[in-house]
């Protein structure tokens, strides 16, 4: 095979893999949004066929031979081609270690688990979901041992979501946050009623919230020709086949419009990142975000650093008034700003304030670590979950629906994902500090001109897709190494000002 032929085959291979991902992604998206109840088995059968064919394509002799040849010629490849070959070979070498029948069975398991999780959450029935979750953890441990027998299984999965991340690094990172945030939370608790957030609660009709979602997407600068929104139990974002087709979801709560508001802004941040990939990366392994930590840096950036800022709230407040005139009577923009930033230890992670949010993530990290280390059984997860919520946040968990069943991540097999939320939050603050050196962020937000902000993120983060490892990409954007103290400095300054500390 000539080199030019091999390079053409590389692109054709990725196009085929992208097509399989597109089809399987559509089935998952449909199952989470529009598919009727009772169809999980049908989707599972289709996915088992597609995942088997995808496995064969990914690990077949022709594919391996092609990539190994290109790897031997890497000095003659472009930077992008080198990265494509590296990522594909890494993925294939891991997949080859997993027996095909187990890989296919796991894909079927995840479809069934997601269906049972939805029912279990609706009915507060953890025992219904428990056997599926137990199999998911067992499979993740087994697959990790296949792929990296010398690594701790949890280290393996942490690294899969954030390249280079380990338990020891997480322990240091979370200890840093805990040492700064716990004293801050204690001071804020002494002023428990300092901020009134009753303006966020009332009767907010779902159809009006849906109109508000459309307005928010417009303000964020999302391309509605390539990004759409629907509803689901647990909000998420997915790109189907390429960055040209990205779907976000939200969940409307009639008596709390801020819940959906911030899920739309959060998922909108993910969508901006995905759709911001350079067009020449489409249908390749470089299309889309490089890691979940970087991805969450963008979602949390828009949700909190921008979305909970005073100038952003002042800009969108007239929209709130026009959609919810009765609910906003006697309410000002400053009232909304203070309300959406009220610190209140709570049950639900996605609705948590900036200060207590990382405690929610720490709880999940500690639970996953214990289960993956064999120190905690899946059966005992609810009890330990409830204990940690009482210890860390001082709240009593009334039921499993608002406790261990609240997140969709475990039903989707995303073990090791949660630390990315905290890392992303910290990454985002440092990126914002760097952005402010050249962009007047507050003026942009106040005037509703998001393009300068989006342009900076596109130039420094989005356009590169997965071309660079997350650490390198972050340091390129920052011209400095990652420093988690920037995050705690930001939180202390903002909330001491808010609470008059």
Q: Is 267 a catalytic residue?
A: yes
The one catalytic residue in 130, 267, 368, 384 is 267
> How many beta carbons lie within 10 A of that of residue 71, not counting itself?
14
Best CA proximity match to 123, nearest among 401, 380, 379? 401
Tokens of 447: 């005037």
Question: What are the tokens at 147?
Answer: 């792929």
Farthest CA pair distance, the chain: 74
How far CA 175 is from CA of 58, 170, 484, in Å, comes to 40, 8, 11
CB-count burial class (<10 Å; 0-12, 13-18, 19+) for 175: exposed
d(CA 284, CA 10): 9
Alpha-carbon span 420 to 294, nearest angstrom: 8
The sign of the CA dihedral 18, 19, 25, 26 is positive
d(CA 214, CA 232): 16
Q: Give the integer Cα–Cα distance in Å for 50 and 127.
A: 30
Distance CA 71, CA 158 (A): 26
Query: Is 233 in contact with 118 (CB distance < 8 Å)?
Result: yes
How many contiguous H segments (helices) and E segments (strands) does the chain have? 20, 3
- List of residues 6+ apart from 461 with CB closer than 8 A: 273, 276, 294, 297, 298, 431, 473, 477
Bridge-based pairing of strands 246-250 and 237-239 is antiparallel
Active site residues per annotation: 267
């Amino acid at each position: 095979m000539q080199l030019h032929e091999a390079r053409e085959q590389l692109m054709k291979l990725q196009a085929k893999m992208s097509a399989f991902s597109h089809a399987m992604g559509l089935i998952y998206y449909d199952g989470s949004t529009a598919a009727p109840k009772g169809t999980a088995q049908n989707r599972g059968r289709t996915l088992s066929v597609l995942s088997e064919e995808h496995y064969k394509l990914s690990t077949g002799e022709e594919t391996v031979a092609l990539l190994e040849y290109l790897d031997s010629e890497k000095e003659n490849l472009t930077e992008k081609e080198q990265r494509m070959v590296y990522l594909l070979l890494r993925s294939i070498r891991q997949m080859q270690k997993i027996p095909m029948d187990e890989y296919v069975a796991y894909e079927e398991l995840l479809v069934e688990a997601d269906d049972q999780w939805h029912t279990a959450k609706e009915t507060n029935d953890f025992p219904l979901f428990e056997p599926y979750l137990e199999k998911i953890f067992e499979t993740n441990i087994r697959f990790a041992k296949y792929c990296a027998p010398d690594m701790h299984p949890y280290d393996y999965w942490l690294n899969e979501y954030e390249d280079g991340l380990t338990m020891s690094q997480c322990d240091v990172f979370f200890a840093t946050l805990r040492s700064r945030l716990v004293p801050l939370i204690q001071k804020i608790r002494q002023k428990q009623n300092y901020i009134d957030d009753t303006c966020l609660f009332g009767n907010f009709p779902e159809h009006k919230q849906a109109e508000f979602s459309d307005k928010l997407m417009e303000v964020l600068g999302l391309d509605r020709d390539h990004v759409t929104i629907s509803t689901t139990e647990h909000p998420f974002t997915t790109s189907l086949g390429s960055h040209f087709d990205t779907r976000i979801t939200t969940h409307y709560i009639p008596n709390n419009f801020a819940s959906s508001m911030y899920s739309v802004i959060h998922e909108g941040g993910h969508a901006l990142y995905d759709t911001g990939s350079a067009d020449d990366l489409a249908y390749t392994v470089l299309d889309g975000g490089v890691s979940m930590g970087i991805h969450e840096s963008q979602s949390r950036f828009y949700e909190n650093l921008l979305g909970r800022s005073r100038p952003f709230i002042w800009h969108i407040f007239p929209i709130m008034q026009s959609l919810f005139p009765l609910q906003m009577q006697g309410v000002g923009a400053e009232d909304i700003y203070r309300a959406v930033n009220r610190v209140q230890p709570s049950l639900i992670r996605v609705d948590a304030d900036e200060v207590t949010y990382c405690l929610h993530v720490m709880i999940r990290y500690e639970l996953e670590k214990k289960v993956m280390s064999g120190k905690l059984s899946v059966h005992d997860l609810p009890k330990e979950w409830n204990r940690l919520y009482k210890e860390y946040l001082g709240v009593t968990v009334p039921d499993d629906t608002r406790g261990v069943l609240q997140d969709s991540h475990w039903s989707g097999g995303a073990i090791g994902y949660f630390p990315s939320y905290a890392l992303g939050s910290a990454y985002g603050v440092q990126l914002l500090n760097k952005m402010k050196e050249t962009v007047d962020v507050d003026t942009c937000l106040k005037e509703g001109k998001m393009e300068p902000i989006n342009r900076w993120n596109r130039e420094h983060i989005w356009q590169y897709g997965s071309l660079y490892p997350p650490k390198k990409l972050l340091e390129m954007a920052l011209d400095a190494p990652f420093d988690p103290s920037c995050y705690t400095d930001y939180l202390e300054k903002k909330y001491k000002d808010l609470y008059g500390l």
